[in-house]
Every structure is written in structure tokens, then in C-alpha cells.
Chain A
Amino acid sequence: MTRFVAGRIGFYTLIAVLLAFFTIPLLWLATAPFTSDPTYEVRVPDFTFENFQMIIDHPYALWSLVNSLVLSIGTALLVVVLSALAAYALSRVRLPGRDALLYALLLLSSIITGTAAMVPLFQLAIELNLIDSHTGLILILSGGLLPAAIFMIKDFMDSTPKSYEESARVFGASPLQIVAHVVVPLVRPGLATIAVWTVANVWGNFLMPYLLLSDVEKQPAAVIMYTLYTEGGQANLKVLSTFGLLYSIPVVLMYLFVSKKYGFRFHGGIKR
């Protein structure tokens, strides 16, 4: 009996320790933005909103969030459109070398990371005059995310019944009509997930914008956040904490959104 109780106590102690381990570093983000004179230590906040005012007054804090948005949405659009087209073709048509291509894509996306490619990308960007260009960064980020996106969408399309498309085909619709009328509406949930996944990846990406954007006004929040705490002098904790919070909220919301909608359901046009 006592062994059982001791076991239970041990179990709950461990849970408490784990909870503490994961919570404590996060607490600062929840308390410091609302504290009028924050330090590195976590303290009970006195619930002030003046820090947020400082963010608004800061020359490039809010603007960097806009940059993050531009980069994220731009990349998401490009990735969704290109990956959907490619994935549909790969799912439905037996192109020569298709299987080898898919394997190669899988390999590439795992091997060619930001770390491995930072040197050539940087040098290429200089040569091609793509430094300080949002467009260039979007293209580069898309290139890195496309292989994985193609898989995920292809996987989704593989499990979409073909009878919808065949039905439309026998009714006389052209292939492009079929894609527009039938395929796109059907894979919308998959496309939405890819869009969110892309945004989440780009939003937090530090290395690429750090490397390729030197103009402060173009830099996204990831770089600005870093700059704020490494720039010389005493770090302005009011700005840092508040900015960090603002910067974090969108990804958290997106994660909640995706986890609620996770799982692709058909709305019954097919009798299972």
C-alpha cells in the first residue's frame, strides 16, 4: 500500500517538475509586457498597458511585424499555388520518372537546410542583386518549403476519390474546368493547412532574413527581436517583452486554428 502511495507521490512530483520546467521560461512572456518596470525576473505584473504604447512609438517594431506578414503571406501564396498544381499532376498522371522525382524531392527537403545552404545562397544573392529584396527572400523560402508541401498535398489528393473528376469528365468538362470546378473546392482543407504551415515556418524563420536583409526597414520581426536584445547598451525590456508577445501571438492562434480543423473531411458527396 505504501509502495503504491509512494509511487503516486513520485509520479505527481515528476509531473509537477515537468510542468515547472516547461512553464517557468514562458512566464516572463506573460508577465513582463504588463509590468511597468520589468526586469529579467518573473514578477507579478501590475497590469499596465503603457509598454504597448512604446511599441507603437518605436520606429520599426510594428513595421517589422508587417514585414513578417508580407513575407509569410507572399511565401504561402506562392507555395500553395505551385505545390497544388504540381501535386495534382503528380497524383493523377504517371509522368516518366515520377517515383524517382518524389524520392529525390523527399531527400532534398531533408538535406538542404538553411545551415547547409547559407553560404551559397548568400553569395548568389549578392551576385544576383537579391540582397534586401523581399521578393528574393520569398523565392528562396518557397524553394525550400515546396518539396514538403508537394508531398503533403499529393498525399491528400491521392486519398481524394477520382470519381468526382471522372464524373465531370464524362459530362464534358475540360481538364482545366475539372480542376477549377471540382478539384480545387475539394482540396481546400488541404490547401488551407499548407498555407498555415508555410506561414508558421516563415514567421519564425530567423536565418534567411538575417542573412539576406540588411535594411532595417525590410527586416521581419524575427530579426528585429534579435536585434533588440543584442544591440549594444542595456536591453529595453519593456519593448522586448511586449514585442515578443505581439510577435508570438499569431503563431499560437494559427496553431489553435489548425489543430481544431485538423483532419480532412468530405461533406458527403461521396457515399462511403
Chain B
Amino acid sequence: MAQVTSPPDPVKVVDDTTTARRRYSSDAAGLGRLRAGAFVAPALALIAVFLVFPALWVIYLGLMNYRLTGLAAADPQFVGLDNFLQAITDPNFWDSTWLTFQFVLGSAVIGQVVLGFTIAWMLRDWRGPLKRIVEGLVILAWILPSAVVSFLWVALLDRDSGTLNALLGIEGFAWLLDHPMLSIIIFNTWRGTAFSMMLYGAALGNVPPSHLESARLAGASGWQQLRDVVFPHIRGHILTNLLLISLWTFNDFSPFLLTAGGPDGKSEVLAVHVYKTALQSGDLGYGAAISTVILLINLVVAVFYLRLLRSKK
């Protein structure tokens, strides 16, 4: 599901599992286990049916030759690992994976992190309305609905009358057609920088000013302060931030809104590829196999992320 606002602080939860037992009974209202169970049940039921079950179901679907129409729709057969083998041997799948890799590397790992950090660093000593304006604009890019910002970029990048070409003084340059990957990478960087900016802003605020001042008094330049004082302090944040936004970007569907995976599959990241094969071409079994791969990759990244958080605390 689309992440519009920052995620809950998972560190607090992870902490709960390792904190020593508190002194007094925490059941302040005398709820008791039975009632507590009844309180939790509805939420768990919903999660089980609409979140957990689909995740398990997709594995099952991947093992069937289910299609949206035709014979296989009425009477799907068990095909074992055929869909998975098909994926592995399908060049489109690998192309899509490679494009997704570029997408994540370019817009998340490089784009959002670098830009987010740069802005946080530059604004670190600012206060007042100007800082709020800059931050506000960056955040605006993040909170506007994806359908709207996608179109804003379609308008911006329009070949004949888009603002970008007007500013650059060139005509007839079809960004979305000739450079689809570049376009979606820049777009996603623009869109997602706010999260990293806020995260690094908070992390920088936690660097003790006395450390920075000691370095400055010792004659360190801005760059040296960054390297010797700031980075050691925020190293942990960088890695967890990277993992989180990589996970989000890997699952991001908004390239579809911009280029629909085209032209000719040149910007067809995995999310779009799944959509095309399963829901447009109707090959649900195959699409499910790819979805399973996506789930597994998500799992690996998420577990790694949580492990990191735990070890930080």
C-alpha cells in the first residue's frame, strides 16, 4: 500500500521485546486475557484475511496455470514450478529486474539519499520562514497524490509545450519517450526526497553541537566536519534509511502512471511488469510467480532492516 507518511518507529516495538519485565502488573483496567483476546480478534481477523492470506495465496497461484480468460480460467491445473522456470528463462523478466535495479539505485540509493541529506545539511542552521518554505515545497512533492504529480511531470516533460523544454530552450525533445528511465528516476527522486530530508534533519539535530564546534575550532572545514563528526554519528541512520526507501521504491507502482512501462517496456519495472503480465495479458499464474519473487525480496530486505534496528539499540 502506498506510503504517504513516515512509518511507525519500529525501534520502539523491537525494544519492547527485549526490555526487562516491569515491576507492576500492567493490566491497569483489569481487562484479563479473555477480554483482551476479544479486543485483538477483529483486527487480527481482518489482517489475516486481507493481508496474510493473499500473501500465502500468491504462492499457491504461482504453482497453478491460472489465467483470466479461457480454459485455464475455468479449470486451472497445477503446474508446479513451471511458472517460476518460465520467469527465469524469460528475458523480459530479467530486463524488468535490471530496470528495477537501476530505478532503485538511481532514485533511492543515490537520488533521495544524497538530495535528502544535502538539503538537511544545508538547512541545518537555518530557522524561520525561509527554512519552512524550502522544506514545505519538498514535502509538498511527497504528499500530493501520485496521480496528480505524475501528470504534473507529464506536463513538465511534454515534448512540444512542456515547461522543461521551454526553460532549456529546446523543442521537440521527448523526455518520456527517449529517456524513460532517466525520467522516472528523476521523478521518483523528486517525489521521495522529503522523507530522507526529514530523517537526516532529525539525525543531524542529534549530533552534539559541542562535537561540531570542537572540530571547527580545531580548524576543520565544512567537509571535514561532515566526514569526521557527522558521518560517524549518523552512520546507523544512513543504512536503515537506505533499506527502507529501497524497499518502498522497489515496490513503487507510480512509474506506471508516468510511462505505463513504455515505450516498448523500456521503463517496465517489476511492479509494472507484474501488472502487465497478470492483469493485462491475463496470465495470473505467471504474474503470481513474479509476485512471489517480489515478496521474497521484500522479506529479505525487511528482515535485514529489522535486524539492523535491533542491533542499533
Contact = CB atoms under 8 A, between A and B. Distances in A.
A204 B253 CA distance: 12
B148 A248 contact: yes
Interface residues of A, number: 107
Main SS at interface, chain B: helix
A115 B274 contact: yes
Contacts, number: 324
B239 interface: no
Interface string B271-282: 100110011000
A124 B145 contact: no
Contacts of A163: 28
A145 B7 CA distance: 11
Contacts of B253: 114-115, 206-207
Given A18-B134, A116-B58, A142-B50, A25 B4 contact: no
Interface residues of B, number: 101
Contacts of B17: 99, 102-103
Interface string A66-110: 000000000000100011011011111111000100110111111
Contacts of A42: 163
Interface string A1-44: 00000000001001100110111111111001000000111100
B110 interface: no
A111 B298 contact: yes
Contacts of A55: none
A225 B145 contact: yes
Contacts of B156: 24-25, 28, 40
A85 B119 contact: no
Contacts of B43: 82-83, 85-86, 146, 150
Nearest to B126: A15
Contacts of B119: 18
A155 B12 CA distance: 7
B20 interface: no
Contacts of B53: 124
B85 interface: no
Nearest to B287: A119
B1 A145 contact: yes
Contacts of A240: 151
Interface stretch (B87-95, B205-213, B288-296): B288-296
Given A22-B190, A120-B54, A15 B134 contact: yes
Interface string B148-179: 11111111101011111011000000000000
A109 B306 CA distance: 12
Contacts of B79: none
B29 A168 contact: yes
B29 A179 contact: yes
B162 A41 contact: yes
Contact of A169 (B29, B271, B302): B29
B122 interface: yes
B162 to A, nearest CB: 5
Interface string A183-203: 100000000000001001101
B312 interface: no
Given A26-B140, A119-B274, A123-B61, A15 B122 contact: yes
B36 A205 contact: no
A251 B145 contact: yes
B232 interface: no
B52 A151 contact: no
Given A111-B295, A204-B146, 8 more contacts: A91-B26, A120-B54, A123-B57, A139-B46, A168-B29, A178-B30, A200-B143, A225-B151
11 contacts: A41-B162, A42-B163, A88-B39, A95-B33, A108-B52, A113-B1, A114-B1, A143-B47, A162-B28, A182-B29, A222-B145
Lowest 7 A-B CB distances belong to which pairs? A143-B50, A165-B28, A89-B39, A162-B28, A93-B36, A204-B145, A86-B43
